[in-house]
Amino acid sequence: MPEAASPSRSAVLRLTLACQFGEVRRAARAVCEFLRERGCGVEQLMDCQLALVEACNNAINYAGKSASGDPIVVEANCGPEDIELRIIDHTPGFEWPAQVKLPDSETEHGRGLFLIQSVMDHADYVRAPGGNTLVLRKKRRATE
């Protein structure tokens, strides 16, 4: 007889922040505290914080005048096996490159996507007329 599926519990945090750089630190702190309360380790917290800050800063930086009044939504989902972060913005969006390379040292911009992909296990970007969603995933270690 097949074993019954066992339910798993995920916890979700949803934040809305103004499209202002000063709001990013507050959101990152709240997400880190949420993940810490669910037993995430220091390495996962640091990786998620870096990716979240880079993603929010990019969303604010590229919002433009028409979207600067629209909020950014951050969702953190912490399950037993992985962490998922979603950043929903109202920028014009962009094509997520198939492979992100580190720009040369003389370049002022372009490191954010590289950093995000370096610290997260999965990154996907979905463009839509009502808002774009960056989905980031990080596996949780069995020992944490």
0.75 cut: is pTM over it? Answer: yes
Domain holding 73, by residue range, is 11-139
> Is the pLDDT reported for residue 3 higher than 60?
no
Query: Angle at CA 106, nearest 5°, toward 105 and 111?
Result: 55
pLDDT of residue 4: 52
Residue 3, in any domain of the structure = no
Residues 6+ apart with CB under 8 A from 29: none
Residue 105, in any domain of the structure = yes
pLDDT of residue 62: 82
* 89 membership: H or E segment, kind and range: strand 82-89
Residue 5, in any domain of the structure = no
Highest mean pLDDT among 77-86, 93-102, 125-134: 77-86
Residue 144, in any domain of the structure = no
Mean pLDDT score across all residues of the chain = 85
Q: Which of 115, 131, 130, 99 is nearest to 52 (CA)?
A: 115
pLDDT of residue 36: 96
Domain count across the chain: 1
Residue 96, in any domain of the structure = yes
pLDDT of residue 109: 64
Residue 65, in any domain of the structure = yes
- What's the pLDDT band for 90 if we cut at 50, 70, 90? confident
Tell me how far CA of residue 64 lies from CA of 14, 32, 91, 119, in angstroms: 24, 28, 7, 27
Q: How confident is the model over 115-143, as pLDDT tens digits?
A: 899 899 999 999 988 889 999 999 997 54
Of 36-50, 55-69, 112-126, minimum mean pLDDT range: 55-69
82 or 110, which is more confident? 82
CATH code assigned at 80: 3.30.565.10
The pLDDT of 30-41, averaged and rounded, is 95
